[in-house]
Structure formats: structure tokens, C-alpha cells
Amino acid sequence: MTQRLRIAIDITHPAHFHFFKNPIAEWRRRGHFVLILSRDKDLTLALLQEAGFDHHCLSKAATTRAGLALELVLHGARLWRLLGQHRIQVVAAIGGTFMVHAARLRQIPALVFYDTENARLSNRITYPLATKIYTPRAYRDSLGPKHIRYDGFHESAYLHPNYFTPDPAKLAAENLSPGERFTFVRLIAWNSHHDVGDYGVRDIRRVIHRLEQYGRVLISSEAPLPDDLKRYEYRGRAVDVHHVLAFASLCFGESATMASESAQLGVPAIFLSTSSRGYTDDLERCYKLVFNFNHERAIEADALDCAASILSMPDARAVFSQRRKKLLGDQIDVAAFIVDEVERAALDRGRR
């Protein structure tokens, strides 16, 4: 492709950085202009900075409904200005709530990638304005003619072997050695709009006590940990977390994204939340790489019993590695799919 395209990517969450980082690199390799827009939420800005990506931060994540409404307006207004200033031909995002209104006003194709069915409010105000909506095949809802399903998961866009090779040297930051048994625990802040009313881990100290019987415990938490639990805290760089996760014996926690990331790496994961996701259900039903404890199954004791069963398996690494091979064999190259779909949308607009 010889035509130089002008692409904008709106990154409003740390996971969105990972999803788009390989496509961004490929677009730039092909000579396209890529405008990166960002939101100050959790580790998003740190990830962009550590990767050396120039970006425009348009807003800071609000924590109340009124604050989110104001942020939506401010972020969208600033995005609208930059889309015009840089003559953007297409804009893409995960979720897309912060960018679809500005894209519609600019008459620019708005491509939304998403996998979270229970984000009902944001989906209602986003999907009608999206040009196309891309979801994994496991997405439960049908979204009409603009809905495109693909064989894969968001997390394979950056953790597929084509793009990611775990580096055991990254374990040193956590005083871990290759082959050492440990459980990676992920706790979220529960302040996203689709997390309202949900919960996961109720007694983190009980979780630690049980999991420590099978090796070390490492905790990655969006909210600050109490002082007595600081010794368990993940201390490495944000961009290195997947290298560490790849060598874990188990991932246990409240993040559906990290459960799916673990599956891509062949690490068994327990997802504990009162809400469920089509993609984590698919990873349990088809591959037995994720074990979901949600709704009536949101029982911490049962989740810990499941963890103990996995951690007691003498051949766990080989078993889950084989399951991962099946998972990888069933997927397309998601990063390449993103690259092609965004380029196609930009070219189509250029022909009009």
C-alpha cells in the first residue's frame, strides 16, 4: 500500500494500549500517520511513555457519574478538534464511547472494538454511532449489520507468539527465579462504569493464606494495598507484567482481561466476579483455560478450592500448554486483522 493514511487511535484504558500497540507499530512501519489520543486512567500514560509513544492526553478518568458525563464532553470536544487539525481519515478505539460523537460530527468512520456485554449504558450510547463494531466470536449479543465477529480474543492482539515472547529475566524485579512456583493475583478498583454493583474477592487475606501453601503470591492491585500486604505487591514496570504473568502457576483475581491474557499464555486463570463475560465463558467451555466464578457461582471458597486443585496438579504446565495450543490454532492473527480493517475504512473514506 503506497497511499499514506491518517489514523487516530483513542486509548482510554491500559488494556487498550496493549491491544493497539502492534497495529500502531505496523501502520507507522508502512508510513502512515498515527495520532494517539489518551486518557489518564490507571497505568495508561505510564505504558505509553515507557513505550515511547507520543500522545495527546485529553482527560483524566472521573469516578462519579456526573464527573464521567463532564469528562465525556471534554474528551470528545478535544478529540473533535484534533481530528480536524490532523485531517484524520478514520478513528478506532476499544469501547469507543469517548470518540464516536466527535467522529460522527467530523463524518469520519468510527471503528469500535469491544468484548464486554455488561457495559450496557456505554454500549447504548456508543453502538448506534459506530460505523462498524468488531467483537470476538464469543460475544453474546447480536448487534445488526454493522457487527463483525472474528475468531480470536482481544488479548491475542498482543500476546500471540507472533508478537510476544516471555522474557524470564523480567522475573528478577520480583525476586523470582524461572521455575519458581507463584500465583499472580489481580485486584481491580471496581470504579469502571460497567463494574458498578459488582464485586469479586471479599477477603484478600484469606486468599493469600490459602494460595501461599503452594508457593509465593504476587499481587497487582489497581487500588492501594494495605501496609501489611505491601510485601506481596508487584513492583516491576507496567510494560513487563505479561512477562511475569507468563511464568505464573496460576492467575487468580477480578480482572476478566487478565484471565484472558493468562489463557493466551497457557497459564490457568480463575476469574472471580459477580458479572460474567462471553469471552471468559468461551475460554472455560471450549479450552478449560479459565474457570469462572460469577453470579450464583461467585463464592470465594469454591474459587480457592479450584485454585488448590490446579496448583496440586503435578503436570499442570504440560496440560495447560496443550490447551493453549488448541486455543492458538483456533484464532486468526488479530493484530493483522485490526491493521487491515482500519486501513480499509480509511481508504474507503478517501474514495468518497
Q: What is the pLDDT of residues 200-220, one digit of tens each?
A: 588 899 999 999 999 999 999
Question: How far apart, in whole angstroms, are the C-alpha atoms of residue 58 and residue 36?
Answer: 10
Q: What is the pLDDT of residues 36-70, one digit of tens each?
A: 999 999 889 999 998 899 999 999 999 888 999 99
Whether the pLDDT of residue 190 is over 50: the answer is no
Q: What is the pLDDT of residues 304-322, one digit of tens each?
A: 999 999 999 999 999 999 9
What is the value of pTM for the model shown?
0.90
Under CATH, to which class is 6-159+332-351 assigned? alpha beta
> Distance between alpha carbon 79 and the CA centroid of its chain, in Å?
22
Give the H/E segment covering residue 133.
strand 132-136
Q: What is the pLDDT of residues 239-289, one digit of tens each?
A: 899 999 999 999 999 999 999 999 999 999 999 988 789 999 999 999 999
Rounded to 5°, angle at Cα 224 from 221 and 229: 80
Extents of the domains making up the chain: 6-159+332-351, 168-329
Average pLDDT, the chain: 92
CATH T-level fold of 168-329: Rossmann fold (3.40.50)
Residue 345 grid coordinates: 475504512
Average pLDDT value for residue range 60-83: 94
* Contact yes or no for 201/300 (Cβ under 8 A): yes
| Residue 66 Cα distances to 59, 69, 80, 254, angstroms | 14, 5, 21, 26
The reply to whether 6-159+332-351 and 168-329 are identical in fold is yes
Residue in 184, 305, 306 with CA at minimum distance from that of residue 248: 184
Q: What is the pLDDT of residues 129-164, one digit of tens each?
A: 999 999 999 999 999 999 999 999 999 999 999 999
Q: What is the pLDDT of residues 83-131, one digit of tens each?
A: 999 999 999 999 999 999 999 999 999 999 999 887 888 899 999 999 9
Neighbouring residues of 47: CB distance < 8 A, sequence distance ≥ 6: 14, 17, 18, 238, 239
